[in-house]
């Protein structure tokens, strides 16, 4: 259908419709229980119909898996055949069936996204035949809950929104200088101390404005288990990020022995204990390269592995300032002991330790593109954020890559050049800019391009203090990104953005029904603006590198 987002690979429309009513049955074959439960829940809530189980030849939505769909379209592929009397939804695997159910929900119209039935609604599916499968296996959203904490209910809501867009990886940024958000039982001070800060900068770090009240929060291990299970029911993998060796001031505040204690006290005013950082930017307080630090974080990762069954574990590895290591006699002695050339190689040694540690436990390390600079184990992967260059280098070296260049898919960047744009950060990245983003660099050969696992959009929350701000920065651009990640689109210049905008006219109504506070096409609504809050706009087009 013309208003589906992301666009399917093949659609054939016919005349007529299938009428959904109180007598319509929902029948499910073997292996379809998760999608059956989800579909009955959301459509039952929106329509008020019971969608009872039972075998029937007519007036039914039939769910099943079939090996021919697997062979033709893969595990995440599906076929949706709407006839006048019956709907057949066939998945290549459980995930494919679930993505097909998302398409079916869109076909019913925006009111199918509501949580209670509205009066005088007629529920019809157009007679159609859809065959569909994703372009990439990694279709991700990175959610930063370290800078501004997002309560558990907000995370579950984001998972539902991701599922509605057929995104399947939540990169969960759990730790940073400004907060530690996951309970680690053997190290309770990580949350007792590290999960909150005394105040918060409002706007960019050059802003003179402060919110002078504590900010914080964390997820208990049972909260994490719930989030991971909720995601799994929606065929979303949660990849945790625990930052090392930089972006670690919250951890050092909780356990000062993790820091470079021979220099850090001299940099703290009055010799007082280091606190969780209340400013933005890159803190100079990084982890000390000691055996004690390694053992501490091995304990952290042991609990993380128990909570997150994902193939990949993200270790950050980016933006590690070397000031303290340069000044620290202990760090300099470690460089000599290990036979390293300098502090850059010391960072590579630190990341490499956890590369080997995770590999030995059957997991794969992934980190920001700085980690390639000192060499990686064969199975490690790279999140390419500083443009395309890091991803190109990693793919050419035989490493898998997730493309997320800041100049294109960092959704904290502003959406328009106007003065009303709230807390303007970075380059202007419009809905069309995101729609024309291409994850696979033209410089890669066909074999090298196979290392591009996919792509993700990143939501950094320094200037997103609540759900409304996250919604505004994320949507509708994530809808365009979802189509880039899922659909078989032509080259960027050849993409039909006008057609996408037409389909968005229906999709905005879906987002309205879901309660998403997206940026309207005409610009921010009065309550979405942040007059007087300083940002950091960058003029001109972003570099294409």
Catalytic residue status for 319: yes
Q: Is 329 exposed, middle or buried (0-12, 13-18, 19+ CB in 10 A)?
A: exposed
Catalytic residue status for 176: yes
Q: How many helices (H) and strands (E) are present in the chain, helices listed first?
A: 19, 22
b/e string for 71-96 if b means 16 or more Cβ within 10 A? eebbbbbbbbbbeeebbbbbbbbbbb
Q: Which residue among the candidates 247, 353, 413, 507 is catalytic per the annotation?
A: 247
Report the C-alpha gap between 410 and 477 in whole angstroms. 10
Contact 99, 450 (CB under 8 A): no
Q: Is 188 exposed, middle or buried (0-12, 13-18, 19+ CB in 10 A)?
A: exposed
Report the C-alpha gap between 285 and 249 in whole angstroms. 6
Pairing outcome for strands 196-197 and 200-201: unpaired
Q: Which residue among the candidates 3, 111, 233, 319 is catalytic per the annotation?
A: 319
Q: At what angle do helices 152-164 and 467-474 cross, to 10 degrees?
A: 20
Report the C-alpha gap between 277 and 194 in whole angstroms. 9
Kindly write down the DSSP assignment for every residue of 279-347, as one continuous string: S-S--S--B--SHHHHHHHHHHHHHHHHH---SEEEEE------HHHHH-HHHHHHHHHHT-SSHHHHH
Catalytic residue status for 279: no
Contact 372, 390 (CB under 8 A): yes
Q: At what angle do helices 467-474 and 477-486 cross, to 10 degrees?
A: 50
Contact 426, 414 (CB under 8 A): yes
Q: Which residue among the candidates 76, 132, 144, 176 is catalytic per the annotation?
A: 176
User: What residues are labeled active site?
Assistant: 176, 247, 319
């Amino acid at each position: 259908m013309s208003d589906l987002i992301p666009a399917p690979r093949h659609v054939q429309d016919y005349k007529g419709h299938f009428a959904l009513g109180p007598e319509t049955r929902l029948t499910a074959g073997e292996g379809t229980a998760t999608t059956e439960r989800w579909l009955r829940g959301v459509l039952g809530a929106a329509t008020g119909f019971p969608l009872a189980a039972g075998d029937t030849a007519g007036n039914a939505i039939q769910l099943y898996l079939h090996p021919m769909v697997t062979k033709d379209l893969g595990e995440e592929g599906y076929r949706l055949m709407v006839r006048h009397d019956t709907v057949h939804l066939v998945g290549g695997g459980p995930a494919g069936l679930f993505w097909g159910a998302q398409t079916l929900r869109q076909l019913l119209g925006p009111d199918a996204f509501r949580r209670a039935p509205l009066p005088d609604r007629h529920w019809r599916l157009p007679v159609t035949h859809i065959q569909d499968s994703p372009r990439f296996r990694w279709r991700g959203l990175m959610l930063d809950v370290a800078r501004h904490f997002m309560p558990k209910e907000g995370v579950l809501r984001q998972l539902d929104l991701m599922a509605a867009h057929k995104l399947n990886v939540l990169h969960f940024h759990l730790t940073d200088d400004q907060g530690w958000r996951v309970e680690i039982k053997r190290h309770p001070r990580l949350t007792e101390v590290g999960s909150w800060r005394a105040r918060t900068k409002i706007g960019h770090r050059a802003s003179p404005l402060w919110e002078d009240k504590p900010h914080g929060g964390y997820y208990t291990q049972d909260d994490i288990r719930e989030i991971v299970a909720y995601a799994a029911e929606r065929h979303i993998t949660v990849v945790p990020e625990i930052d090392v060796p930089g972006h670690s001031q919250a951890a050092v505040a909780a356990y000062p022995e993790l820091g470079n204690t021979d220099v850090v006290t001299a940099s703290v005013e009055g010799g007082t204990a280091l606190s969780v950082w209340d400013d933005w930017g890159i803190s100079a307080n990084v982890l000390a390269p000691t055996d004690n630090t390694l053992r501490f974080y091995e304990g952290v990762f042991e609990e993380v592995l128990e909570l997150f069954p994902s193939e990949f574990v993200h270790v950050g590895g980016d933006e590690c300032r070397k000031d303290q290591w340069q000044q620290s006699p202990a760090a300099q002695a470690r460089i000599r002991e290990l036979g390293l050339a300098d502090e850059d190689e010391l960072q590579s040694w630190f990341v490499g330790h956890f590369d080997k540690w995770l590999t030995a436990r059957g997991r794969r390390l992934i980190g920001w593109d700085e980690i390639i600079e000192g060499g990686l184990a064969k199975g490690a992967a790279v999140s390419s954020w500083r443009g395309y260059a890091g991803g190109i280098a990693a793919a050419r070296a035989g490493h898998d890559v997730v493309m997320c260049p800041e100049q294109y898919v960092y959704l904290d960047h502003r959406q328009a050049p106007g003065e009303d744009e709230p807390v303007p950060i970075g380059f202007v990245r419009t809905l069309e800019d995101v729609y024309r983003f291409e994850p696979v660099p033209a410089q890669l050969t066909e074999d090298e391009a196979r290392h591009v696992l996919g792509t993700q959009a990143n939501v950094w929350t320094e200037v997103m203090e609540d759900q409304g701000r996250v919604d505004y920065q994320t949507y509708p651009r994530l809808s365009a990104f979802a189509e880039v990640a899922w659909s078989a689109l032509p080259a960027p210049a050849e993409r039909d953005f006008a057609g996408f905008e037409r389909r968005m006219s229906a999709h905005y109504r879906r987002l309205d029904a879901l309660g998403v506070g997206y940026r309207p096409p005409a610009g921010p609504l009065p309550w979405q603006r942040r007059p007087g809050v300083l940002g950091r706009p960058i003029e001109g087009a972003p570099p294409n590198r």
